[in-house]
Amino acid sequence: MKRTVEDLANLKGKVVLLRVDFNVPLDEGGKILDATRIMQSLPTIKYLIEKQAKVVLISHLGRPEGYDIRKSLWPIALILMRLLPTSVYFSNKAIGKEVEERIKHMKNGDVLLLENIRFYEGEASCDMNFAKEIAKLGDVFVNDAFGVAHREHATTYGIARIMPNAIGFLMKKEITALQGAVENPKHPFVVIIGGAKVKGKIKFIMKLLEVADTLIIGGAMAYTFLVASGYSVGQSIIYDDSVEYARDILNIAYSQGKKILLPIDHVCIRENSKKKKPIVVSNLIDDMVAYDIGPKTIKLFKDEINQAKQILWNGPLGKYEDERFIGGTKEIAKAIASSKAYSIVGGGDSVSAIKKIGCENKIDLISTGGGATLKFIENDTLPCIDVIQEKIKL
């Protein structure tokens, strides 16, 4: 068991370097579109304030190359000022004398947000000299950034190697919930996989196949599986290099007596037709490109979802960004939301789809990490969790 923020004694007056994931979606003008990640970081921040620590917040935002004012964390400091009961300050530098000075003048319970850590090249390259510069600022490191725990960066990984450390409440919640779901699932356990990137999800699917009863495959990746099963898919996206893997997955599933469901009808467009109006077909031929699952498939998938005791969903069932092709994803999301099963949704696009549809409040666990969630399920851990000290049994 990893040491958590609650295991840290005598926090009063200590400078805690808290790595959070404030990587929120922004619009063109830099307006925050969704503050979920900020809200989810609050329990750990508030706990540290209560314990009278000096809280130094570290986060990244986007993938800037050097300084970029549109990726500044300043707007997030403004939000925190409204949400937190103590003084919140912002530093436009993350290392150096100036920051050290500011920290020296913090009162117990104050919060200081450092500027986007990815403005520094040493973050993503995990430069240990940079990590040391950051470590110098505080007494203890707490990692609550589950969404980037699969990336070995200076303030997610490097710093944990050189100073006392622990995980925060959000990290603990995600680890416990995902571990429980995979190690101790409730049956029938229905796994729904969609989206793209078949290759990137093979290990993930294999791992879930071991514990799931039913595997439902939709989204762009379904066409690779349909090709592997001998069906024609017209001009729909297929990942040629993954057809063999798809065949392996199907064979393993059948040999283990698992149920696998693939789409039986599709919402598609005829590429060569002038009319770009989608049509529903059962057989994809010629110039047809499928962008969503059809009504028969929705019913097939829903019937399975209704019998589940546990559901894990990753990957939209169609090209949901386009209103014409959101239908399948919407119906399946609603079915998951209204089912009595314990439900988990993970994956960057899946989480934004469920928010767009508006049923995120009816999901038991929305895993905040996109890639991190997949990697955690694949490997039962992540590098930035591994590096945290174990709880010392007294």
**Which residues form the interface with ligand ADP (CB under 6 A)?**
194-197, 219-220, 237, 290-291, 314-316, 318-321, 347-350, 370
Q: Which does 239 bind (CB under 5 to 8 A by kind): ligand ADP, Mg ion, none?
A: none
What are the structure tokens assigned to 170, written together?
């959000």
Residue 348 annotated to the active site: yes
Q: Which does 196 bind (CB under 5 to 8 A by kind): ligand ADP, Mg ion, none?
A: ligand ADP
Residue nearest to Mg ion (CB): 349
DSSP secondary structure string for all residues of 335-360: HHHHSSSEEEE-SHHHHHHHHHHT-G
Q: Where are the beta strands (DSSP E) in 257-375?
A: 259-261, 266-270, 279-281, 288-293, 310-314, 342-345, 365-366
* Max Cα–Cα distance, the chain, nearest Å: 73
Tokens 């707007």 map to which residue?
75
Among the residue ranges 54-62, 81-89, 172-180, 341-349, the one whose residues contact Mg ion (CB under 5 A): 341-349
DSSP 6: G
For residue 196, give the H/E element and its range: none
Indicate whether 174 belongs to the interface with Mg ion (CB under 5 A).
no
Q: Of 14, 37, 71, 151, which one is the catalytic site residue? A: 37
Smallest distance from the beta carbon of 63 to ligand ADP, in angstroms?
Answer: 16
HSE value, Cβ hemisphere, 13 Å, CA-based, for 184: 4
- Apex 68 CA angle, 67 and 70, nearest 5: 155
Q: Give φ, ψ of 105 to 5 degrees.
A: -90, 0
The residues pairing with 165 across neighbouring beta strands, listed in sequence order, are 141
Answer whether 69's CB lies under 8 Å from 29's CB: no
Residue 197 annotated to the active site: yes
Among the residue ranges 32-40, 109-117, 164-172, 340-348, the one whose residues contact Mg ion (CB under 5 A): 340-348
Smallest distance from the beta carbon of 268 to ligand ADP, in angstroms?
Answer: 9
Answer whether 162's CB lies under 8 Å from 156's CB: no
Nearer to Mg ion (CB atom), residue 343 or residue 373:
373
Nearer to Mg ion (CB atom), residue 327 or residue 348:
348
Residue 371 annotated to the active site: yes
Indicate whether 348 belongs to the interface with Mg ion (CB under 5 A).
yes
Rounded Cα distance, 319 and 194, in Å: 10
Smallest distance from the beta carbon of 348 to Mg ion, in angstroms?
Answer: 4
Indicate whether 349 belongs to the interface with Mg ion (CB under 5 A).
yes
Q: Of 3, 132, 161, 197, which one is the catalytic site residue? A: 197
Nearer to ligand ADP (CB atom), residue 88 or residue 198:
198
Q: Of 315, 348, 369, 370, which one is the catalytic site residue? A: 348
Answer whether 26's CB lies under 8 Å from 76's CB: no
Q: Which does 316 bind (CB under 5 to 8 A by kind): ligand ADP, Mg ion, none?
A: ligand ADP
Q: Which amino acid is at 76?
A: I
Q: Which does 32 bind (CB under 5 to 8 A by kind): ligand ADP, Mg ion, none?
A: none
Residue 173 annotated to the active site: no
> Active-site positions?
37, 197, 348, 371
Residues in touch with Mg ion (CB under 5 A) = 348-349
